[in-house]
Amino acid sequence: MMARLIPDPSAPPPEPRTSTYIGIFFVALATLMYEILLTRIFSVTMLYHFAFVALSLAMFGLTAGALVVYLAPRIFRPERLRARLALAGVLFPVAMVLSFMTELSIPFRVGSSIVAVYAIAFTYVVIAVPFVVSGIAICLTLTGFPSRVSRLYAADLAGAATGCVLLIAAIGWSDGPTAVLWIACLASIGGVAFAVDAGSRRLRNAGLALFAFLLVAASAHTMMVRNGTPVFRILYSKGMVETPAIYEKWNSYSRVRVMGDPRIDLPVQGWGLSPRVPKNRMRQLQLDIDVWAGTVMTHFTGDFSTVEHLKYDVTNIGYYLRNGHDALVIGAGGGRDVLSALLFGARSVTAVDINKDIIGTVNGRFGEFTGHLDRDPRVRFVNDEARSFIARSPQRFGSIQISLIDTWAATAAGAFVLGENSLYTVEAWTNFLSHLTDDGILTVSRWYFHDRPAEMYRTTTLAVEALRRLGITEPRRHIAIIRNMRPTTASTTDTPDGVGTILVSRRPFTDAELDTLDREVTRLEFEVPFSPRVALDQTFARLTDATGLAEFLRSYPVNIAATTDDSPFFFNMLRLRDIAKTSLLDFGNLSHNMKAVATLGILCLTVAALTALCILLPLWLTRDRVRLAGVGPLFTFFIAIGLGFMLIETSQMQRLIIALGHPTYGLSVVLFALLVSSGIGSALTQSVTPATAPDAGRVRLLALVAVLAIFGIVTPFVARAVEPLTTPVRILAAVALLFPAGIFMGMAFPLAMKLAAPRARDLTPWFWGLNGAASVLASVLAVCIALTWSISTAFWAGWVCYVVALWAFVRASRV
């Protein structure tokens, strides 16, 4: 027979000590902090969709750790439980730092060569190592002390909840790489606690020495970061050697860097500049977010004659039709659009940017260079999410400008939860148009491709649907599209052919305005592919005609239908069912977004295969040593709650990020509230015994299903209702929604462990591993479902999983 963690059921189970609770608290804290931090760092070092892959596969390390415990019972015998916990706890921070340094040393290159494939695979294996060690420690703790599993699981969740908040502070006061040292320092506290629990002086001293070393290293390097002289830094970004910046600042959702020499004059920069632009030179700096999303900081002394080149940019074409009004700029960036509004005579300019460090960099650190636009009485900078700000604002604007706002950046909430996507939904555009004056214009600029201008098509469907929601029945009279195309010889498959700007007016464009538009377009050598007068591209005309539009959108090769808050993935246009159609992956600069969806589909299949392997491999290796009769419902239950928890968590994070107005809130509010409330729910099951578990479990799981159903019905209405309210009120509303659901979801795992321990104690590490594997699979499935259908569909899929879990628990209780 297989050696069991507790071989004699009649013997009293081991009891955890205070140091055990401290140990699992800090290991769980460090595990979640490191997991989220990797999302942020991978957004810099990898393409963002590969960051999602890397994190998903790394999290399988936790499952692998649980399977190691299950498949190696001789190593993890009950008398060695505390010693093995101590060893895993001390090794965890060591594995974290060494793994991270190894990952940084590998250039992440995407290619068809066997070396490139090997490098990617090796990277994924390396980053999984610390999660394997952490998985061993957490599995041993939760399965080794069955009588206190409720409180231990509560400590685990409390540590994870604390970690998701601490990370925001850690990465803000240092930077991404240094935060790894701080997390490892916190993890070493868990190792010391487990060593004290085991009574091992050697491991305790090793843990204390490690803690002291990491504390000194993290503190010293934090000072070096603040002095601009880091030595523990990223060497490769997007597969290329990274050039040191003159300034760098990290936060939980971006890395902001400034490149260039402020003393050197350069040709004027701008993606949409006319061929007629004067060949002036001036001092400029490049400000980028996560390497690829760039904006220009222009040297400005107060003399507007030095920035006349901005009048030649297609992004500013709307100012030729209407000016002298109150302007709103969404995405302040390096201040270029603010200068443009002032140059064209705006009465006032409100510049909103979600990233506080961009505003601080432009107006603070480089304020003398940019002319301190924040000190101009006509200008107001606002650090807020644009939708949230506009919804609360009583002001109406003559123009709202959104110029090439995207970052391809993974936020702390996950690599496919992009803050900018909330700007490109029907609800957002309806909100924007509602806050324009009667003759106001919404102007949105996106990349343009001659053959496949999919982004411009999608902005057109957004404009049409938003106008129709405002009661406008002839949207074509309110829309004009202008493009500035580069010479064909300069175009490549990797860069856009040009920039397009869509103008959406509250009232129909007049003949005089269209005459002005035609005149300026001719002078600047732009083109008008679509306006109330012309339609050089008949697809635009088709999109503004309601007749047969639904069928046209369904038949179009990629998804250009209007995005909504329930499916806010504007940039991801490839349908998952088409991931094998390689011809659809070549969309020029849009290829990154197309390939991201293809990568997601492949990842979903890969993770599903790994989950199946977690079931079949242990079954095959132990087929002659364990008795599986009657445990099928328990297997089903642990898989179902793993799927259900992550489907609900991910979907609500995606939904409430829009309602709360900032990606950081998706982490600090949604994740924190769910983890804390789940920890409370777990602690509330401590009084449940194996004998009372069947009855108590049925009642509480039935209540869970009911609470989640109410939660799913109510949340969309609350999310819409709180959008115009202040941030504290929106946070309180989100917490009030999440807490009841979290409390009941937190009860599911300990209740099942209490049911399983007396009858299948050998299998409890495997159950924990299956729960973890299902959670990773669900994190990918949630995005796949939301992309294909909607966020609501992902949520209700999670609810169905809990219904299945209820059924499985009832069946398991009767065995």
pLDDT higher than threshold 60 for residue 556: yes
**Residue 732, both tokens:** 């309180």
Residue 7: predicted pLDDT: 44
For the chain, the C-alpha Rg in angstroms (whole number) is 28
Going by C-beta distance under 8 Å and a sequence separation of 6 or more, which residues neighbour residue 728? none
Segment 333-344, tens digit of pLDDT:
999 999 999 999
Confidence of residue 271 (pLDDT cuts 50, 70, 90): confident
Residue 730: predicted pLDDT: 85
Instruction: Please state, in angstroms and rounded to a whole number, the distance separating the CA atoms of residues 7 and 762.
Output: 9
Amino acid at 476: R
Instruction: Please state, in angstroms and rounded to a whole number, the distance separating the CA atoms of residues 490 and 275.
Output: 13
Coarse DSSP helix, strand, coil percentages of the chain, rounded to the nearest 5 percent: 60, 10, 25
Q: Starting at the edge strand that comes first in sequence, how are the strands of the sheet with 397-403 ordered?
A: 379-383, 348-353, 326-330, 397-403, 436-448, 498-505, 479-485, 527-530
- Map out the domains of the chain with their CATH numbers: 1-242 (1.20.1250), 286-408+426-562 (3.40.50.150), 571-815 (no CATH)
Q: Which of 204-213, 409-418, 768-777 has the highest mean pLDDT?
A: 204-213
**Residue 264, both tokens:** 């050197």
Mean pLDDT of 259-267: 93
Across the chain, mean pLDDT equals 88
The string of DSSP codes covering 482-550 is: EEEEPPGGG--TTS-SEEEEEEEESSPPPHHHHHHHHHHHHHHT-EEEESSS-BSSHHHHHHT--TTHH
* Among 608, 774, 600, 786, residue whose Cα is nearest residue 53: 600
pTM above 0.85, yes or no: yes
User: Could you tell me the CA-to-CA distances from 382 to 93, 103, 357 in Å, in that order?
Assistant: 40, 37, 12
**Residue 249, both tokens:** 């600042």
Of 289 and 58, the one with more pLDDT: 289
Instruction: Please state, in angstroms and rounded to a whole number, the distance separating the CA atoms of residues 556 and 568.
Output: 19
* DSSP H or E stretch at residue 569: none
Segment 775-809, tens digit of pLDDT:
989 988 988 898 889 999 999 999 999 999 999 99
541-555, 558-572, 601-615 — which is least confidently predicted?
Answer: 601-615
Confidence of residue 122 (pLDDT cuts 50, 70, 90): confident
At residue 522, what are phi and psi to the nearest 5 degrees?
Answer: -65, -45
Instruction: Please check whether residue 46 is in contact with residue 595, taking contact to mean a CB–CB distance below 8 angstroms.
Output: no
At residue 559, what are phi and psi to the nearest 5 degrees?
Answer: -85, 105
User: Could you tell me the CA-to-CA distances from 5 to 13, 72, 141, 318, 395 in Å, in that order?
Assistant: 10, 10, 12, 72, 66
Segment 373-398, tens digit of pLDDT:
999 999 999 998 888 889 889 999 99
Going by C-beta distance under 8 Å and a sequence separation of 6 or more, which residues neighbour residue 243? 259
User: Could you tell me the CA-to-CA distances from 759 to 9, 94, 609, 627 in Å, in that order?
Assistant: 9, 37, 29, 10
Measured in whole angstroms, the distance separating CA 734 from the mean position of its chain's CA atoms is 18
Instruction: Please state, in angstroms and rounded to a whole number, the distance separating the CA atoms of residues 698 and 688.
Output: 12
Q: Any bridge partners for residue 330, and if so which? A: 352, 402
Residue 180: predicted pLDDT: 97
Segment 483-511, tens digit of pLDDT:
999 765 444 445 678 999 999 999 999 99
* Among 471, 383, 390, 466, residue whose Cα is nearest residue 424: 466
Instruction: Please check whether residue 681 is in contact with residue 740, taking contact to mean a CB–CB distance below 8 angstroms.
Output: no
Which stretches of 622-689 are DSSP H helices?
A: 632-660, 663-665, 672-683
Instruction: Please state, in angstroms and rounded to a whole number, the distance separating the CA atoms of residues 83 and 196.
Output: 10
Is residue 433 left, alpha or beta, with left meaning phi > 0 and alpha meaning psi from -120 to 50?
alpha
Q: Any bridge partners for residue 284, and if so which? A: 298
Mean pLDDT of 406-414: 48
Residue 724: predicted pLDDT: 79
Segment 208-242, tens digit of pLDDT:
999 999 999 999 999 999 998 999 989 888 778 88
Instruction: Please state, in angstroms and rounded to a whole number, the distance separating the CA atoms of residues 529 and 117.
Output: 42
* Among 298, 326, 328, 292, residue whose Cα is nearest residue 310: 298
Residue 495: predicted pLDDT: 63
Instruction: Please check whether residue 573 is in contact with residue 594, taking contact to mean a CB–CB distance below 8 angstroms.
Output: yes
Burial of 401 (0-12, 13-18, 19+ CB in 10 A): buried
Instruction: Please check whether residue 446 is in contact with residue 547, taking contact to mean a CB–CB distance below 8 angstroms.
Output: no
Of 535 and 9, the one with more pLDDT: 535
State the pairing for strand pair 479-485/379-383.
Answer: unpaired
Of 206 and 761, the one with more pLDDT: 206
Residue 415: predicted pLDDT: 40
Burial of 489 (0-12, 13-18, 19+ CB in 10 A): exposed
Mean pLDDT of 120-131: 88
Let me know the angle formed at the C-alpha of 809 by 150 and 803, rounded to the nearest 5 degrees.
105
Residue 14: predicted pLDDT: 77
Residue 410: predicted pLDDT: 46
Of 578 and 83, the one with more pLDDT: 83
Instruction: Please state, in angstroms and rounded to a whole number, the distance separating the CA atoms of residues 184 and 104.
Output: 16
pLDDT higher than threshold 60 for residue 765: yes
Segment 667-711, tens digit of pLDDT:
678 889 999 999 999 999 999 998 899 999 999 999 999 999 999
